[in-house]
Amino acid sequence: MRVLVQRVRSAHVTSAPAPGEPGRETGRIAHGLVALVGVTDGDGPAEADWLADKLAGLRIFNDADGAMNHSVQEVGGAVLVVSQFTLYGDTRKGRRPSFVAAARPQAAEPLIDQLVERLGGHGIEVATGAFRTHMEVHLVNDGPVTLLLER
């Protein structure tokens, strides 16, 4: 699994059945993290749990001295989780990405659900996009702070 995580002041996601169709807001957070999550073949529950624990404890929020010493849990932030199969896009050949490394939706969706549940188990407010829809993510990146987590 891969997670592109961004520290944000606020974020929300709208989901639509297809591009150009009207969308509806499916998730909104104030300060916290946006987690774009990709799943690959071979990922399982252990990867989902590890990444949830890593996100919950990742110290990327500033303390009083401006040093990154606090986690999303410690600052009372929330996490917006958005499925992102394109994180496994391979662009080494040609001009069109290949997504063969991305897990099929039937395998990926339960793992993203598990990640969301595990984050909630840490006492963190979690919002989500809608799986298998066209999503628009709106965010105000704070810093900017953007990291790639992988297990």
Residues tagged active-site: 84-86
Closest CA to 54 of 90, 3, 127: 3
Residues in the chain: 151
Closest CA to 112 of 31, 56, 55, 49: 49
Number of helices and strands (H, E) in the chain?
2, 8
